[in-house]
């Protein structure tokens, strides 16, 4: 895997089931439960822009503030994102979402979810 991340085109084979993940700790700003995250960084550019990788999160609920535009392709699990203005986005396997910079609200993970993401 190390060679694929050092490629001129960094890549991870079988990203939907890849299991060589790193512990990213407990989700901050918990409201209910204690979600934990694991993941694998695929690429991080200068000043962390862009950043892309795999993120896996266990059930729980927490406050969320998205600092930069973020594209997410959810490949397993389910969650509900509720913005501070009341909009609800339900996600499950095969859902793609583009969160705009500054999005704030709550995330409730119902079933451990996996997403392939890119922050720009």
pLDDT tens sequence across 51-98: 999 999 999 999 999 999 999 999 999 999 999 999 999 999 999 999
Beta bridge partners of 120: none
What percentage of the chain reaches a pLDDT higher than 90?
85
- pLDDT at position 2 is 53
Tokens of 77: 């699990």
Whole-number Å distance between alpha carbons of 97 and 90? 10
Q: Is there a contact between 56 and 113 (Cβ–Cβ < 8 Å)?
A: yes
The percentage of residues in the chain with a pLDDT greater than 70, rounded to a whole number, is: 98
């Amino acid at each position: 895997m190390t060679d694929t991340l050092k490629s001129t085109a960094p890549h991870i084979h079988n990203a939907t089931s890849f299991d060589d993940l790193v512990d990213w700790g407990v989700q901050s700003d918990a409201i209910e439960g204690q979600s934990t995250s694991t993941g694998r960084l695929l690429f991080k550019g200068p000043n962390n822009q862009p950043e892309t990788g795999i993120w896996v999160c266990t059930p729980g609920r927490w406050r969320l503030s998205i600092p930069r535009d973020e594209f997410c392709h959810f490949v397993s699990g389910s969650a509900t994102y509720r913005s501070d203005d009341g909009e609800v986005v339900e996600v499950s396997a095969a859902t793609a979402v583009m969160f705009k910079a500054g999005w704030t609200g709550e995330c409730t993970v119902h079933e451990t979810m996996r997403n392939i993401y890119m922050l720009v």
